[in-house]
Amino acid sequence: MPDDVVAGEAAQVRAWWERLGLPGLFDVHVHFMAPPVQRAVWDVFARADLHPKLGRPWPIRYRLPDRERVDLLRAFGVRRFSALPYAHKPGVAQFLNDWARRFAAEVPESLWSATFYPEESAPAYVEELIRAGVEVFKVHVQVGEFHLDDPLLDPVWGLLDEAGTPVVVHCGSGPVGNEFTGPGSLARVLARHPGLAVVVAHLGAPEYADFLALADTHPRLRLDTTMVFTDFFEHIDAFPTDLLPRLVDLQDRVLLGSDFPSIPYPYLHQLESLERLQLGDEWLRAVCWHNGSALFGPARG
């Protein structure tokens, strides 16, 4: 990406949050993964067979090496961001977690992120990570093809409930659903473990109403804005306008998410898409900084 483009984007993003009087941005839905895994993820987005399901191609705007992506987030003024690896099959979570641990040690602004998968070893490695201070987990049921209430995960949910460690869960059926997506398995997990600090990715798209209703009965459930309201995502899974007042009701539990770097538009577009909802500057301040800071606290070190 040319330097002048980077500088121009960075200036626009910084001007956006500076106008709100914020110290920067807190993005809870950013991905950094071991390079071979990250390349494999990007290759999935490039596959021609995915495009008919989406109705359009999905070009990756920020297909850059790790260090360049970190520098770009810093230039944008994203003061805190996640890494969010996610396991797609048994036996890979520990590899992803070991890489993410090293990344977190080298990048203090990042949330120390980890993942898990329904496998016999999951309770042991999740417990070790919690004791070591991991800050957030990520699971992706669409990619991993498992139900959240898989019996192998029940001890894991118990550990997370007791520790209060947040977990970002992609369980909505957007952008391409399967038999494992939807609100049902999360609702069953929360019935057994009501204290879980769950962040529902993509506002639960496209089952927005169902996940918002779940938030009504579970005060520790939060939702992130990842890709929602952007022109690209509105074409796929538009957010119903009659539900916008619910986002105001849940102002303290909506968090900024972007899906950087795997987005097909400039980072600024997510921010502008939130602003054009006209929910007010206080709502934007809460979503883009204060709610993330309240959930995760100050940066390590």
For 28-77, the DSSP string reads: S------HHHHHHHHHHHH-GGGHHHHTS----TT---HHHHHHHHHHHT
Query: Using CA atoms, how far apart are residues 251 and 269, in angstroms rounded to an integer?
Result: 21
* Residue 177 binned pLDDT confidence (cut-offs 50, 70, 90): confident
Q: Tokens 């800071």: give the residue.
A: 293
Instruction: Tell me the mean pLDDT in the region 180-197.
Output: 97
Whether 94 contacts 125, CB under 8 Å: yes
How many C-beta atoms lie closer than 10 Å to residue 112's C-beta?
Answer: 21
* Range list of H helices, the chain: 3-19, 35-46, 51-54, 66-76, 93-106, 122-132, 141-144, 154-163, 184-192, 208-217, 231-237, 244-249, 267-275, 281-285, 291-296
Mean pLDDT of all residues in 169-189: 94
Residue 61 has pLDDT above 80, yes or no: yes
For the cut 70, the answer to whether the pLDDT of residue 72 exceeds it is yes
In the chain, the percentage of residues whose pLDDT exceeds 70 is: 96
Q: For residue 298, what pLDDT is reported?
A: 76
Q: What are phi and psi of 240, to 5 degrees?
A: -65, 130
Which domains does the chain show, CATH number per domain? 3-296 (3.20.20.140)
Q: For residue range 135-157, what is the model confidence (pLDDT) as tens digits? A: 999 999 999 999 999 999 999 99
Once rounded to an integer, what is the mean pLDDT over residues 88-101? Answer: 97
Residue-wise pLDDT for 251-292, tens only, equals 999 999 999 999 999 999 999 999 999 999 999 999 999 999
pLDDT of residue 6: 74
pLDDT tens digits along 235-255? 889 999 999 999 999 999 999
Side by side, the strands of the sheet bearing 136-140 are 113-115, 136-140, 167-170, 198-200, 222-224, 254-255
Mean local confidence (pLDDT), 33-50: 86
For the cut 70, the answer to whether the pLDDT of residue 53 exceeds it is no
Q: Indicate left, alpha or beta for 174 from its phi (over 0: left) and psi (-120 to 50: alpha).
A: beta
DSSP single-letter state for residue 238: P
Q: 115 - beta bridge partners? A: 138
- Whole-angstrom CA distances from 298 to 77, 104, 150, 223, 292 are 16, 14, 34, 20, 10
Identify the weakest region by mean pLDDT among 2-6, 90-94, 165-169.
Answer: 2-6
Average pLDDT in the 201-226 region?
97
**Amino acid letter, 286:** A
Determine if residue 259 is left, alpha or beta; phi over 0 gives left, psi from -120 to 50 gives alpha, anything else beta.
Answer: left
Rounded CA-CA distance 17/78 in Å is 10
44 or 160, which is more confident: 160
Confidence tier at 45 by pLDDT (50, 70, 90): confident
